[in-house]
């Protein structure tokens, strides 16, 4: 358990999971944050969703390697 992610050995499934995580987090960010802060700019919501999605994807990749 080194905690490293081998980005060179990712498969198509891994990339598809990453796209899925980002898409789900974008929906959550637009829905939840857009509801809580009605005047939030769209760019802010996109950045929040993308950041959460990438963090979730890296977490998935680390758990997969354990």
pLDDT in tens, 1-54: 566 777 777 888 989 999 999 999 999 888 888 788 888 888 888 998 999 999
pLDDT confidence of residue 23: 94
**Which residue has tokens 């080194």?**
2
Structure tokens at 42: 């769209």
The tally of CA atoms less than 13 A away on the side-chain side of residue 60 is 17
Q: Where are the domains of the chain?
A: 12-65
Task: Decide which of 36 and 66 is more confident.
Answer: 36
pLDDT confidence of residue 40: 83
pLDDT confidence of residue 25: 92
Distance CA 49, CA 25 (A): 5
Task: Decide which of 6 and 63 is more confident.
Answer: 63
Distance CA 32, CA 45 (A): 10
């Amino acid at each position: 358990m080194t905690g490293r992610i081998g980005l060179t050995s990712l498969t198509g499934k891994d990339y598809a999971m990453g796209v899925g995580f980002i898409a789900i987090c974008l929906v959550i960010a637009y829905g939840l944050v857009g509801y809580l802060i009605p005047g939030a700019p769209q760019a802010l919501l996109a950045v929040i969703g993308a950041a959460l999605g990438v963090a979730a994807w890296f977490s998935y990749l680390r758990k997969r390697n354990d």
